[in-house]
Structure 1
Amino acid sequence: MNRPVRRTAYHFGMRLHVGCAMWSLKSWQGRFVAHPLPSRERLRAYAGWCNAVEGNTTFYATPARDTVETWAQQTDPDFRFVLKLPKVITHERRLVAVEDPLRIFLNAIEPLGPRAHALWIQLPGSFGPADLPAVETFLRQVPTSYRYAVEVRHPAFFDDPRATAQLEGVLAAADAEWVPFDTTVFFAKLPTSAAERDAWTKKPRLPRRSHALTDRPIIRYLGRDAVTETVEGWQHWVDVTVGWLQEGRAPTVFVHTPDNADAPELARRFHDAVRARVPQLEPLPEPDPVEPLTLF
């Protein structure tokens, strides 16, 4: 069962945040965003479509602080970044003896202020129940000025009720969220495109999890390259999201497809589907018009 909601005072009305795995993709140029568009303007253009984004690039390298300042300048204070902790912290050192890289990372992202919605601790598939003390110790030591969200990929956390309860207890003690990556729709049938075949070998294949631990649940949903299949497959999450909003929670939902070609539009469609059932939901921003691509 979902845990009781920790009530939070918001300066905005009821909001659902939706977004993609990135804010810039070549196939979006001239379709969702202008082309050409300087790199310093791409996040601003994306923020006209979505009000949240996954910070996957921070897994590979901590950005320069002045780069992060430009991210803040291109987005409203209510825009949500869910920033993945660097791999040196989560995968190489496995949350142990990480004071220095964590300090450097936190200093770099400080300009985001309230936009840093949650720090995303994505753990490797080898990180199992026996490693939970490292998670508990880490969450006790990190600054409480940030929210934390943990993504696990070890099958035991999904298949073993005792391991599930242990992880939930550790996260609940720190008011941290468990981030599910729902790939069940994607793996429901064999791949039919190059992008799907590539994702087939890389994405985790785990049971769906739909329980929120905090007032700010975060969902990652992977559909198919076919838009109709992606939309049909997310009905479960529409139902869950509607329920969370009615409970007073403030969810963030990220829509993925193997090629992500339609991701900004799909994220908005998901928001529309929820708003059709929760009319008091605040609308998304209106994207800037995009001139069609020409040959000359």
Structure 2
Amino acid sequence: MRLHVGCAMWTHAPWRGRFLPHPLAPAERLRAYATWCNAVEGNTTFYATPARSTVETWAAQTDEDFRFVLKLPRTITHERRLADTGEDLTAFLDAIEPLGPRAHALWIQLPAAFGPTDLGSLASFLHRLPRAHRYAVEVRHPAFFTDPRAERRLEQVLTRAGAEWIPFDTETLFRAPPATDAERESWTKKPRLPSRREALTAHPIIRYIGRDSAEETENGWAPWTEKVTAWLAEGRSPTVFIHTPDNAEALPLARRFHAQIRTRLPTLPALPTPTETEPLTLF
């Protein structure tokens, strides 16, 4: 029984000197983050496939139980829309190979225009993928959330491939008008879709975004504490990513989520002890 929690990135300016040591060499930032959380979203891989040497440094800074959920490059998902992707996919898989088991799942985030009529392309793409990796799909077309037939068809495609459906829960974000600049910006960029709380595999992945108020964020994730506790009791191994519009408090919030689950399931392994931000003194 293991719960992994994390954030959308491992380095963020508001964390420096508060939660993570500062200054800190770039090659040590992931190592410091990994003392707070045991998973991270790999959003940067959406924009470009990293150099293999860069990925080797990621592996060196984390233990084998650490989880990366790595987003496939946009050339594959958005530009080529899952067709004729062989060269790009091969380059990506080669680049991330040094992560080994840390590459928990490859994240296929599809554009909002990718709808029910495109499911044949998704099924074909998933069928061609190597079985050495676990796959998870995030969709943003409204029909998958409002049309039961489209939802069932997507579930069938994913289940046949052994892939998970990643929900991005934005309900708390949109529950009240934005109160900060970051919330206003998030309102223009984040998908406004119904929340989904069903798992298709033994390794569900959740993306949750709250508000810049830690209290509102925590109150909003209450349904997830129930669901994640139930999944763990069933023998599943979930990964939960905590976001806020400015992400300033995302690190401690991720740990707070884990702590709340651990109060319900005391046998759940604890997270690491965070790295000190300042040297310890005798006085």
- TM-score between the two structures when normalised by the length of structure 1: 0.94
Q: 2:188 aligns with which of 188, 195, 201?
A: 201
Residues of 1 paired with 2:252 and 2:207: CA distance? 16
Residue pairs, 1:121-136, within 5 angstroms:
121-136=108-123
Q: Give the aligned partner of residue 246 of structure 2.
A: 259
Q: Give the aligned partner of residue 93 of structure 1.
A: 80
Q: 1:290 aligns with which of 257, 277, 280?
A: 277
Unaligned runs of 5+ in 1: 1-13
Residues of 2 paired with 1:127 and 1:206: CA distance? 15
CA RMSD of aligned residues (A): 0.6
Deviation (angstroms), 1:288:
1.0
**Match of 1:157, as an amino acid?**
F
Q: Which runs of 4+ in 1 moved over 3 A?
A: none
Verify: 1:22 aligned to 2:9, yes or no: yes
Task: Give 3-state SS (helix, strand or coil) of 2:174's partner.
Answer: helix
Q: 1:36 aligns with which of 23, 44, 51?
A: 23
Unaligned runs of 5+ in 2: none
Q: 2:93 aligns with which of 101, 106, 111?
A: 106
Q: Give the aligned partner of residue 146 of structure 1.
A: 133
Residue pairs, 1:1-296, within 5 angstroms:
14-291=1-278
Aligned residues with identical type, % of pairs: 66
Residues 252-287 of structure 1, C-alpha deviations (whole Å, 9 max, x = no match): 000000000001100000000000001110100111
Residues of 2 paired with 1:287 and 1:72: CA distance? 19
Residues 53-97 of structure 1, C-alpha deviations (whole Å, 9 max, x = no match): 000000000000000000000000000000000000000000011
Residues of 2 paired with 1:95 and 1:275: CA distance? 39
Deviation (angstroms), 1:291:
1.4
Deviation (angstroms), 1:241:
0.2
Deviation (angstroms), 1:16:
0.3
Task: Give 3-state SS (helix, strand or coil) of 1:49's partner.
Answer: coil
Residues of 2 paired with 1:237 and 1:39: CA distance? 33
Residues of 1 paired with 2:21 and 2:267: CA distance? 31
Residues 97-137 of structure 1, C-alpha deviations (whole Å, 9 max, x = no match): 10000000000000000000000000000000000001100
Task: Give 3-state SS (helix, strand or coil) of 2:264's partner.
Answer: coil
